[in-house]
Structure 1
Amino acid sequence: MNTNDKSNEAACSRRSFLCNTAISVAAMQLGRTALADEPAATAAKSGTHNSFTSLKQIDAGVLNVGYAEDGPANGPVVLLLHGWPYDIYSYVDVAPLLASKGCRVIVPYLRGYGTTHFLSSETVRNGQQSVIAVDSIALMDALKIDKAIIGGFDWGARTANIMAALWPERCKAMVSVSGYLIGSPEANKAPLPPQAELQWWYQFYFATERGRAGYDKYRRDFAKLIWRLASPKWNFDDATFERSAASFDNPDHVSIVIHNYRWRLGLAEGERKFDDLEKRLAAAPVITVPTITLEGDANGAPHPDASAYAKKFSGKYAHRVINGGVGHNLPQEAPQAFAKAIMEVDSL
C-alpha cells in the first residue's frame, strides 16, 4: 500500500464512513457492471404513508425489541435498519412497496429508540458498533429467521455491513447507503484535515459532559438540525419529524448515543465480551454477499467517496447514485429507489 492509500484508509475510518468530503455523483465501473444513475423520478413519492401495517414487540437477546412488520409471513425476509437521529419511520414508505412484492419486511427500533427496551436494568447501555449487529442477529433468531436481505443507512448501514462481514450465512444480500462503514477506535485516532473534522462537530460535542447534557435537554432541536444539515434539499414537514422524534424519548436513548460516539473516539470502553468481534472488524473485513451501495446526490452528512470502498465488496456488486436532491435519509427521501435496490440486489 502506498502513502496515498494509507492516507485514504485513515480518513475512511472516522465515524467509519468518512473518507473525504467529496461526494461521488457518478456510477462506477468496478471490474464488474455498475448500474447507471437512478433518474430523479425514482427518488420521488416520499411521504405517502404515515403509519405501518403492524407494530409488535418480542424478547431478543438482552432486549425487548419493538418492530414494524409488513407483508406475508412466508415471504422472503427483508430486515431494514435505521440510523441516528432517525427511526423506523425512515422506512414507512419502503415497507409497503416491498410487501406488495411479496416480501416479509421487518423494521426494528435499535437499542435506545422507540419501544425497544432492555430486559434488565443491570445491562450496560452500550452503543459500540458490534453490539447493534449482535442485537440484529438476536432478533432474527427470536423471529426464527434463518436468512434475510439486509438494508440500512447511517448506523443501520454500518450494522448491515457488520452482519454481512461476520455472519454472511445469515445475509442473503445487502443494500448499504454510503457504502462500507466498518471502523475501529484505533483507526479513528488518525486526525483528518480541518474541513473534514468540522463536519464532526457533534462527535466532539458529545465527548464532553456539556454535550451529553445539551443533547439530553435539546433532543428534538438537535435531531431537526442534523436532519436539515444532512438532507439540505429534503422539505420534511413537522408531522414527519415528530413521528420519528417521539422515539428519542426512550429512557436509554441519550446513553446509547453518547456511548456510541465516545467509543468511536476511544473515550469510552466497550464490553470485553465483544472484543473478539471488534478485533475482527478492526481488520476491515471484505464483504462477500451480493451488495448494492447507494448514495444520494445531495447528502450533506460526512460520507466516503464511492471509489474508496469499492474493493471492500468481493461478491456481486453495483453502485447507484440517486438523483433528485436526495440527502442522507435516503430510504425516506427516495423510497422507490431504495425498494428497487432491495428487490434487485439478490439477482445481480
Structure 2
Amino acid sequence: MINGMEAARFGVAHLDRIALHYAEMGPEDGPLIILLHGFPDTCLGWGKQMPILAKAGFRVIAPDQRGYGVSGKPRGVKAYDLDELAEDIVALGAHFGETRLRVVGHDWGASVAWWLSSTRPERMEKAAMINAPHPAIWKQAMYADKTQRKKSRYVKAMRMRVLPEMAIRCRNFGPFIKTLKAASREGVFDGEIEAYRKAWSEPRALTSMLHWYRALLKKELPKAPGRIETPVLLIWGEKDEFADVSLARQSIALCERGGTLFFADGSHWVHREEAQPINDMLITFLQSDQDM
C-alpha cells in the first residue's frame, strides 16, 4: 500500500454522468473535503494529506478524476472540457450529500477548483489551490509571457494526436516517472511507482489524461477573468518548473477573499515536500467559519 494510504477505504461513486473511483478517510459524519489530484497523479498522491485531515475530523474524499485509473473514460477531447470536469465534482459532492463544497486541488485539480470558483460560486464554500494558476491566466501566459512559454512547451506538444501516447508508452511511462522523481525533492517510493504505472496502463487512460490538455488548448477562455468571491487559499512552491510564480500572484489578485502560503524552496510537488505546514494551514482554513 502507498505510504499514508493504509487506512483508506476505496469505492466507486456511480454518478448520473460518470463513475468515479475514490479513496476515503475520516468519519462519515464529518465535514466533507474533496481532494483533486493533478497530472499524472491519482488519488494516491494525497497520502500525506488524507490521514491528517481525517484525524482533524473531516470526511476526506479523493477521487481519481475522469480519465484516470479505473474511473470513467469517455471518448473524445470535448469530454475533458473544464466545464465537464467541474460538473463531475459538483455531482460527486451531491453524491455524498453536500451542495456546498470545500475543495483542495493540486495542478490540474487546482485548475478545476479555480474553474468551479469562477463558474459555480453558488456551489463553493471554500477552495485551496496548490501550484496551479487560474486556467484563463495560465493559457494566456502560455502565449504572451516569455518565461511561461518556455515552461509550457510540453503543453503545446500535447496538441498532437497519437504521437505523445506512443512516446510515453514505448518508454514504459518513463517521462511521467522522471517528472515525479525530478520535480520533487521528496521523491516517490518504489511501491508508488508501480501503482502509478498500473493506473496509467488502464485501457484508454493515457489518451484520456492527455485529452485534459487538448481540451484546454481548444477552449475559449476569458482574457479578463471575473472576480472570485469564494474564499481561496493559494499554496505555491516557487521553484515550480511548470508554472511561473507571477501567475500565482495574478491569480490570487482575482480573489475578493484570498490568502497565500509561498515556499521559496518548494517545487511543483510542494504538498509532498512541506506536508506539515501545508496540512496545518489547510486545517485552519477549512475549519474556520471566517474568510481569509
TM beyond 0.5: yes
1:271-310 alignment runs, 5 A limit: 283-305=224-246, 306-310=248-252
Alignment equivalent of 2:256, drawn from 298, 301, 314: 314
Note if 1:138 corresponds to 2:78.
no
Work out the CA distance in 1 between the residues paired with 2:174 and 2:3. Answer: 25
The equivalent of 1:55 in structure 2 is 10
Number of residue pairs matched by the alignment: 285
Stretch deviating more after TM superposition (213-222 or 105-114): 213-222
What's the offset of the Cα at 1:49?
1.7
The equivalent of 2:114 in structure 1 is 161
TM-score, structure 1 as length reference = 0.73
Q: Secondary structure of 1:298's match?
A: coil
Percent of aligned pairs sharing the same letter: 20
Q: Secondary structure of 1:183's match?
A: helix
User: CA 1:125–1:92 in structure 2 vs 1: closer, same or farther (change >3 Å)?
Assistant: farther
User: CA 1:141–1:50 in structure 2 vs 1: closer, same or farther (change >3 Å)?
Assistant: closer
Q: Secondary structure of 1:190's match?
A: helix
Q: Secondary structure of 1:300's match?
A: coil
Q: Which has the higher contact order (CA 8 A, sep 6+)?
A: 1
Alignment equivalent of 2:64, drawn from 109, 117, 124: 109
The equivalent of 1:11 in structure 2 is none
Contact 1:52 1:92 in 2 (8 A): no
Alignment equivalent of 1:264, drawn from 191, 197, 216: 216
What's the offset of the Cα at 1:282?
5.9
What's the offset of the Cα at 1:50?
4.2
Cα displacement string for residues 163-210 of structure 1 (whole angstroms, at most 9, x for unaligned residues): 1222223222111113532228984783542x5433223223322242
Note if 1:64 corresponds to 2:19.
yes
When Rg is computed on C-alpha atoms for both structures, the one with the higher figure is 1
What's the offset of the Cα at 1:328?
1.2
Amino acid paired to 2:278: F
Note if 1:87 corresponds to 2:63.
no
Q: Secondary structure of 2:197's match?
A: helix
Alignment equivalent of 2:105, drawn from 152, 174, 191: 152
Note if 1:223 corresponds to 2:176.
yes
Work out the CA distance in 1 between the residues paired with 2:10 and 2:103. Answer: 19
TM-score, structure 2 as length reference = 0.85
User: CA 1:179–1:188 in structure 2 vs 1: closer, same or farther (change >3 Å)?
Assistant: closer
What's the offset of the Cα at 1:234?
2.7
Work out the CA distance in 2 between the residues paired with 1:297 and 1:304. Answer: 6
Alignment equivalent of 1:331, drawn from 271, 281, 290: 271
The equivalent of 1:207 in structure 2 is 159
What's the offset of the Cα at 1:342?
2.0
Work out the CA distance in 2 between the residues paired with 1:163 and 1:58. Answer: 20
The equivalent of 1:253 in structure 2 is 205
- Structure 1, unpaired ranges of 5+: 1-46, 271-277
What's the offset of the Cα at 1:291?
1.5
Amino acid paired to 2:59: R
Work out the CA distance in 1 between the residues paired with 2:86 and 2:198. Answer: 23
* Two-structure CA RMSD over aligned residues (Å): 2.7
Contact 1:189 1:265 in 2 (8 A): no
